[in-house]
Amino acid sequence: MRTNTKLFIVAGLLVGLALALFLSPFASSKPDGLEKVATDEGFDGTVGDHDTADSPLADYGVEGVDNEKLGTALAGLIGVLLTFGIGLGLFAGMRVLAPRSNSPPDGRASGSGPRQHTGVR
């Protein structure tokens, strides 16, 4: 991976963290499209308690943080970092476990060689 790609990933992660930290506390708290339709059409009554309602991060808050906006911001920060970490592990793991038949044996699939056809047309 080129340094520039690493820089791009880090910069992208920082933007994502900033969105979660600074914008999510000010997101609309109105019911979303499905919740609104469920209420209007009368099928919201069958919702059960969520299995992880006791999670310390339930409903995008942080247990023990009473300030709602701060809790949302921290929950967002934790969620973005966790998703990034699990995602990196998942996709890097898939690369390691994948059969190598589609990649040239000299590792040139890493983007330093002739074009790979990985997109549209």
Residues 71-100 that bind another protein (CB under 8 A): 72, 75-76, 79-88, 90-92, 94-95, 97-99
- The rounded distance, in Å, linking the Cα atoms of 14 and 12 is 5
Residues between 36 and 65 with contacts to another protein, criterion CB under 8 A: 36-38, 40-43, 45-53, 55, 57-60
Q: For the CB of residue 66, give the shortest distance to another protein in the complex, in Å.
A: 18
Q: Please answer whether residues 108 and 114 qualify as being in contact, where contact means their C-beta atoms are separated by less than 8 angstroms.
A: yes
Q: Please answer whether residues 55 and 6 qualify as being in contact, where contact means their C-beta atoms are separated by less than 8 angstroms.
A: no
User: Does residue number 66 form part of the binding site for another protein (CB under 8 A)?
Assistant: no
Q: What is the dihedral of CA 24, 26, 29, 34, to 10 degrees?
A: -50
Of the pair 66, 110, the CB lying nearest another protein is at: 110
User: Does residue number 67 form part of the binding site for another protein (CB under 8 A)?
Assistant: no
